[in-house]
Amino acid sequence: STVVLVFQAPVSRSPKNQGSSEFSFCTRKGDRIRVGEALGR
């Protein structure tokens, strides 16, 4: 079976404050993941 997650999260488009609070995944394609482990921050 499969689960698809679609969600809104902050992105920072201005080069000036890039990275300040933008969402980014902390996983890779093909990774094994378990319930409760971080997908992104």
Applying CB under 8 A, the residues found at the interface with another protein are 1-17, 20-23, 25, 27-41
What is the signed CA dihedral for 34, 35, 38, 41, rounded to 10 degrees?
A: 140
Minimum CB separation of residue 6 from another protein in Å reads 4
- What is the Cα–Cα distance from 29 to 15, expressed in whole angstroms? 27
Minimum CB separation of residue 18 from another protein in Å reads 10
* DSSP conformational letter for 25: B
